[in-house]
Every structure is written in C-alpha cells, then in structure tokens.
Amino acid sequence: MNEFTERQMKLTWRAPKESYDVVIVGAGGHGLATAYYLATRHGITNVGVFERGYIGGGNSGRNTTIIRANYGIPAAVRFYQRSVDLYRGLEEETDRWLMHQQKGILWMAHSEAAVRAERMRAKLNTEFGAETEFVGPRQVEELCPQLDMSGGGRWPVLGASYHPQGATARHDRVVWALAEGAMERGAHVHQNTPVEGLILDGKRVAGVRTAAGNVAAGVVVSAVGGHVSRLAAMAGLRLPIRTHRLQAFVTNHYRQQFGPIVASSELFFYASQTARGEMLLGAEIDPQPSFSYRSSHDFVQHVCRRALCLLPFMSDLRVLRQWTGVCDMSPDYSPIMGRTGVPGFFITTGWGTWGFKAIPAGGEQIAELIATGETPELIAPFGLDRFARDRTMADRGSAGTH
C-alpha cells in the first residue's frame, strides 16, 4: 500500500441524510471541488455529493490531465489562469502529492496562417495573465529535441506559441484529494448512489430522489458529466449541449525524457509523457453525438499517422491502452456555469474537452456563488443565459482539442 490508498482506508462513509444544505450531483472533479471549496472557503459542510459510480470514475478519469490557460478569449484566459494558479498551490494546500508537474506546452504552427494565429494567441494570453510567447524553430527544437522539424516534409515547424505554465497532474489523486478534503470537514460523498430524479416544489428544485431515498436540499448543483441534459430536463430545462465521445490512448514506456506537452491545431493531435513514461495522445471529438464508451481502431490509426509526422520516434512504440470519455459540448466551446433560471438549481456543465484543467477554479467559483448568492465576476460571462442574451463566448482557443 502507498500513502494514497492508506488515506482512503481511513475515510468514514456515512449513509445519506434526509436533508442537506447543498446537494451536488456527480462526484467528479467539478462536484468534489465545489464541495471542497464550500467546506474550506465558506465553512459550508452540510453538503452531500451523490455519484452513480465511483469517485472520479467518469470523465475525471478519462481525460488527458492537461492544465493550461492559453485560451482564445479574455474571459476564458482569466478563468483558466485562476485554475492554473490554484492547481500550483493545491499540493501544499491539501498536503497531498498530486504528481503536478509543470512542463510547458508548445503549440506548433506549420503554415503562415498558423504562425499568425499562434502569435495572436501569445499576445492575447500574455495580455490577460497567462504568460505565453511565440518562439521560433530553433527554440522549439531546444525545448523538444525529439521533434522532426520538417514535419515529415509536409508539416514543417515554423514556430510555436510556448506557454511555460502548462502542466499535468494525476487525475485520481486530484479527485481524491478534493474528496478527502471535503469529507474531513464534514461533507458526505455517496458513491454508487445514482440520482434518479429531482424533487420539485412548484418550480423550485427542493431535493433529489436517489437510489437510497429522497433527500431534501437547500440547493442542488448539477456537476454531471455526460448525462446533464437528462438531469436538466427533470427541472424543465433544455440545454445547449450535445454529448460527443472523445478518445485517447497511451503507448508503452518511452525511455527518454519527453519534456513539454506538444500540440498542433493543424495536425489535430496533442502528446505528452505520463509519469510512468508512456506517451499519451489525444485528438478531436468523434463527429456524431454519442454516449457510448466504445473506442475505435480508426482513431488510433488517424492520430498515429498525424503524430508520426512530428514525432517519428513513436513509430518504435506500441499502443498499450485506449479509452473513451463523453464530452458535453456547448455551441460556443465555452463552459456553462451558474444559475439556471430554475430556483434552487445551479449548473456547471459544457466542460467539453477542457474540464480537468478547470476543476479548482470551477469548484471555487461555484462554491462562492452558492455561499454568497452572487455570481462571481470571473464566471459571470459563462452563464446559461448568455445564449438568450446573444452574448455567446465563442472560443477558438478551445475549439481545437484539449
């Protein structure tokens, strides 16, 4: 046993109470972070988190754990930078090793148009707090000597935007650190307890029906990933969400150190090295809306073909493991956080392919909203009402991949 499992064994699991001040649906990163920040920042501990499976077993355990803030619009850059900052302090704050590793992220440009786009990304990000610079081919090569700078002859590396604060962390250590932090302070987490319905009092959401009985709630927060449209429909809401699959895979151990996270918008893939030395690759979502966790061989085929243009050393590696998560995609590729128009019902969704990096900031801001009753400035632009107000947050910086 290591310190990670030892800590888990000391936790006390309790039966659900008849009522909580706050009920959170979904014990993934965002649900647990909300519980954690409610407990640590606002002293609200009469909180129940309900999870149909196990902690972090949904998309929190199926992502590629990339943490970065170099997004495409000012509001998003500010928000994700908050998350990057919180992540950096999270190990010390929770007194747990989260395997947080700052490695920097290189975003390749293979054409003049992409060079302009990456220069713009660097400018915009630096302006709004996420340090990013445009680097030329020589510096790119220094940062990542494994790259084929000619891109297999077809995708030459003309430069890249470099975001030094790009990082990765171990997904299950992050969710468990938040779960333990919340539970130590009195919050309850109920695994294997699906929420089957919402209890309505007139228009107001007044509780949840769970597999373990009815639970009354002061407020209900949906931190559901993948099935949020179904939960929202119970409150009479229709959401601007479509759910798509996103796949990823790892190779066997690569013995050399692979420094940064490498991404390319034109080749539609990104790669990083896990702490075990595996190369971890991801790409874009599958085209059709789907809730299936099935992975496909053609995904591996397509990603390998493109990734080998830049990283030819990977042709010596074998694919070890492949998996799929389901992503709630919003039409403007930005998250949806805050009130819903239904009293007593808050939502944090639309986490598409960018949920993991937003865990601490998302949880912190939703917790503040619940505790103070006022929408924090940082997430005010990301409300569900933005679609009706014609204030969508179209984000080119997230529309790509991770």
Contact window for another protein (CB under 8 A) among 126-134, 136-144, 149-157, 224-232: 224-232
- Neighbour-count burial for 378-397, b at 16+ CB within 10 Å, e otherwise: bbebbbbebbeeeeebebeb
Q: How far is the CB of 289 from another protein (least distance, A)?
A: 6
Task: Report the residue number, 181 or 335, with the smaller CB distance to another protein.
Answer: 335
Asked if 322 interacts with another protein (CB under 8 A), we say: no
Contact window for another protein (CB under 8 A) among 109-117, 210-218, 281-289, 373-381: 281-289
Asked if 203 interacts with another protein (CB under 8 A), we say: no
Give the closest residue to 326 by CA, choosing from 358, 364, 284, 285.
Answer: 285
Asked if 331 interacts with another protein (CB under 8 A), we say: yes
Contact window for another protein (CB under 8 A) among 17-25, 126-134, 223-231, 269-277: 223-231
Phi, psi of 220 (to 5 degrees): -115, 130
Task: Report the residue number, 53 or 137, with the smaller CB distance to another protein.
Answer: 53
Task: Report the residue number, 219 or 239, with the smaller CB distance to another protein.
Answer: 239
Asked if 197 interacts with another protein (CB under 8 A), we say: no
Give me the 353-392 binding string for another protein, x by CB under 8 A, dash otherwise: ----------------------------------xx----
Asked if 394 interacts with another protein (CB under 8 A), we say: no
Residue 329 zone, left/alpha/beta (φ > 0; ψ -120 to 50; rest) = beta
**Subset of residues 294 to 313 that bind another protein, contact rule: CB under 8 A:** 294, 296-299
Angle between helices 359-372 and 74-94 (to 10 degrees): 90
Q: How far is the CB of 247 from another protein (least distance, A)?
A: 11
Asked if 239 interacts with another protein (CB under 8 A), we say: yes
Which string of DSSP letters, residue by residue, matches 144-203? -TTS-TTGGGTS---EEEEETT-EE--HHHHHHHHHHHHHHTT-EEETT--EEEEEEETT
Tokens of 42: 């606002």
Cβ atoms 85, 360 nearer than 8 A: no
Cβ atoms 123, 81 nearer than 8 A: no
Which string of DSSP letters, residue by residue, matches 91-118? HHHHTS----EE--EEEEE-SHHHHHHH
Query: CA angle, corner 60, sides to 199 and 377, nearest 5?
Result: 70
| Residue from 2, 5, 12, 288 in contact with another protein (CB under 8 A) | 288
Task: Report the residue number, 170 or 306, with the smaller CB distance to another protein.
Answer: 306
Give the closest residue to 54 by CA, choosing from 170, 145, 179, 138.
Answer: 179
At residue 171, what is the residue type? H
Q: Can you name the residues that pair with 344 across neighbouring β-strands?
A: none
Task: Report the residue number, 212 or 233, with the smaller CB distance to another protein.
Answer: 233
Asked if 2 interacts with another protein (CB under 8 A), we say: no
Asked if 292 interacts with another protein (CB under 8 A), we say: yes
Phi, psi of 325 (to 5 degrees): -125, 170
Q: How far is the CB of 240 from another protein (least distance, A)?
A: 4
| Residue from 240, 277, 312, 341 in contact with another protein (CB under 8 A) | 240
Binding site for another protein (CB under 8 A): 227, 229-230, 238-243, 286-292, 294, 296-299, 331, 387-388
